[in-house]
Structure 1
């Protein structure tokens, strides 16, 4: 199988030339384009998620030999979560080479966080199957770059930190309320309010509910720390 020019360029961007090009084609094929004669990338995404996890676990252990499991877990989660995977996918312009069905194309699939995150995990699996674990490890460490070293010592996400703040003061968990939603269906914008029972509240706006909730929690935490 010969790769298209776009896929050859993508190989160069990720730094891996495939011995079996069909693996790369499968890795960038979304379920909306699958058929009896064309496999999609869902099974590869499942495998790639596990390969990414192992690489990151090894890297974090090597970087901080004295860290406890409680310290390592939030750092690990920050590095493998879907938002991080999607950011990496954007950096190598994975969206440009994704093979999508018409409905996904129309709805802006090349920019969707879930599709990009799943896609980069599928690419990791394809490299693993093509070149083995060491090749996949080199790919992940190259693409994640300084993220592994720059991840915060306390990498708890803002929602977790806010919940722990509330629990320490014997308050119920924070509530997250959708204040508004705007924009087209393929590119919605959410405004979310993070609220505590004591009346404290902060709002944030982002292209996904999860990101808006995290941003609202971070904003509320910052306000609480000032008081």
Structure 2
């Protein structure tokens, strides 16, 4: 992972981040790579030919493993379906963004001028990917225990928040509500997209037989669909 032309960031540049991570990297190339957006390829001698995508791939699997094991410990009697819903909620991009913002990850990312100009350091997708990459870097530098310590420290609050009942995605909830009443599955339609590339706003409409369509917006199609489903489910349950 650390071959090629990448050159490690100096310790002084990442000391505060490493303190937050609870780990000082022995292989500083790994941390540098985890902080390097793919757009930097060829633009910076520290990061030419490198980016966080491979570490992101690994970090996604490490996060899933650690959280899955943790859920088995916390909920020893819960069935697989409920555990799966908890896992999905804890490893999705939204959860990663919360952690990335909490540790100030955006301020340490190496971004191309184009991404800097589009506020890439705070773009949710970039923050989520870089957070996974950092987890992958922790794993490669110091093993599973180092990654586990970081994950359990920063995912404890959301796990405890959902302790009372497994979280349910609004889209799943609306689908189950419709099927339980013999209705057709909800129909989602893309209405449009507005805003600049770095801050798009998607509009989605959802329809269920017997109800007026509901339109909602979000920074991604998935977010807009969830918002629309959540609102329609709220309306349906009040009838």
The TM-score, its normalising length taken from structure 2, stands at: 0.88
Deviates more, 1:190-199 or 1:95-104: 190-199
Q: Secondary structure at the match of 1:146?
A: helix
Match in the other structure for 1:63: 74
Match in the other structure for 2:3: none
What is the rounded CA distance, in whole Å, between the counterparts of 1:221 and 1:108 in structure 2? Answer: 34
Match in the other structure for 1:196: 208
1:32 partnered with 2:32: no
Q: Contact between 2:40 and 2:48, CA under 8 Å: does it hold in 1?
A: no
Match in the other structure for 2:23: 16
Q: Secondary structure at the match of 2:190?
A: strand
Q: Contact between 1:59 and 1:148, CA under 8 Å: does it hold in 2?
A: no
1:1-227 alignment runs, 5 A limit: 1=8, 3=10, 5-35=12-42, 37-151=48-162, 153-227=165-239
Q: Contact between 1:162 and 1:221, CA under 8 Å: does it hold in 2?
A: yes
Deviates more, 1:167-176 or 1:33-42: 33-42
State the 1:6 CA deviation.
Answer: 4.1
Q: What are structure 2's unaligned runs of at least 5 residues?
A: 1-7
State the 1:106 CA deviation.
Answer: 2.2
Which structure has the higher relative contact order (CA within 8 Å, separation 6+)? Answer: 1
**CA displacement 1:108-132 (0-9 Å, x = unmatched):** 2112222111100000010111111
Deviates more, 1:141-150 or 1:131-140: 141-150
